[in-house]
Each structure stands twice: as C-alpha cells, then as structure tokens.
Amino acid sequence: MFGQIYQIYDKNTFKCLYVGSTKCLYDRKRQHKHHMLNKDSPCYNRLCYKEFRKIGFENLVFECVYESNDFESVKDLRKKEQQYYIQLKPIGSQVNAYCSAEYNKNRVLELNRLYYYKNRQRMMDRNKEEYICECGCKLTRITKYRHFHSEKHKRLMEQKNLSQQITALS
C-alpha cells in the first residue's frame, strides 16, 4: 500500500504545526483547507485549525517527509506517522497517530488512578449513604449488591409477597 507522512509548518517561523499520514497529499491538503475555513465542519474548532487560521492558509507549507509503497496496512502507516510525530513535535496536534495496546492499558490505569485520588472522598461518602431496601433492611450503598443476593433478603421478600397476597385475597 502506498502512503505518505507529511508535516504542515509555518513558512515564516518554520514551526511544525501538524504531522499526518495519507494516501494522497493533494486530497488531504484540500480536506485541511475545507476544515480550516468551513464553520459547518465538525473539525472547525480543533486546535490545529485554529492555529492554521491565525497563520493563514497561504503561510502554511505542506511537506512530504516520508513516502513508501511498503506499507502493509493503515496501522503500519500510523506507526510510521507516530515516529515522525515524536520526532517533529507538532504544536497543533493533540492526538497520537498510533498507540500500542500496552500504552493504552497503562494510560487507562493512570487515568483511573488520577480519578480515584481526585474523587476519593466523594466516593467514600457516597458509599456510606444509607439505603432502606424494599424488604425493610437498612444498609449502605456498598453492601447493596451483597444484600440483594443474601438469604435474609430472599426470605424477607417472600414473607412480604405472601402478606401482600393474603391482604389481596381478604
């Protein structure tokens, strides 16, 4: 499969603004221009397009930094793009082109850890909230699941259903 890795930079400052990959640089350039100028585009408010508008399309240079026919898949193309992304450090791109499964796993673990530390007290308070089950037992949110599967809950619910049936027949 043929693929190209390209960068977009400001011709006045030579700062790399964006790194991307494509099969056809000409078409991709047109897409960037469309997203940059068309307010109805879902990409219009992305950081890179805001930067592009500040600089002006006429001051942007689209440069192919690597091209090859040896890509077996889009995934391989993205891996190569990620290498250039790390090397060129674009200021307008916010998203990695390719992330390995190990990277994603570690990132999720780190985000979960951060969330827990930021919200620890709120979560602990929420778990201590008292709740009255329909069987009449008083319990906390954290013990709710265990209670619903307990013999005590099942027995009390049977008694409650039985008493409701008796009152319905009377």
- Per-residue pLDDT tens listing for the chain (170 residues): 999 999 999 999 999 999 999 999 999 999 999 999 999 999 999 988 999 999 999 999 999 999 999 999 999 999 999 999 989 989 876 677 787 778 778 888 999 999 999 999 999 898 888 989 999 999 998 898 899 999 999 999 999 888 888 888 76
**pLDDT at residue number 97:** 78
**pLDDT at residue number 120:** 93
Taking the domains of the chain in order of start, what are their residue ranges?
3-98, 129-169
Q: Do the Cβ atoms of 90 and 19 come closer than 8 Å?
A: yes
* Other CB atoms within 10 Å distance of the CB of residue 124: 10
**pLDDT at residue number 142:** 87
Q: Do the Cβ atoms of 130 and 139 come closer than 8 Å?
A: yes
- Look up the pTM and report it: 0.60
CA-derived radius of gyration, the chain: 29
Residue 82's contacts (CB-CB under 8 Å, 6 or more residues apart) are 96, 97, 98, 99
**pLDDT at residue number 35:** 95
How far apart, in whole angstroms, are the C-alpha atoms of residue 7 and residue 16?
7
What is the topology classification, in CATH, of domain 3-98?
A: GIY-YIG endonuclease (3.40.1440)
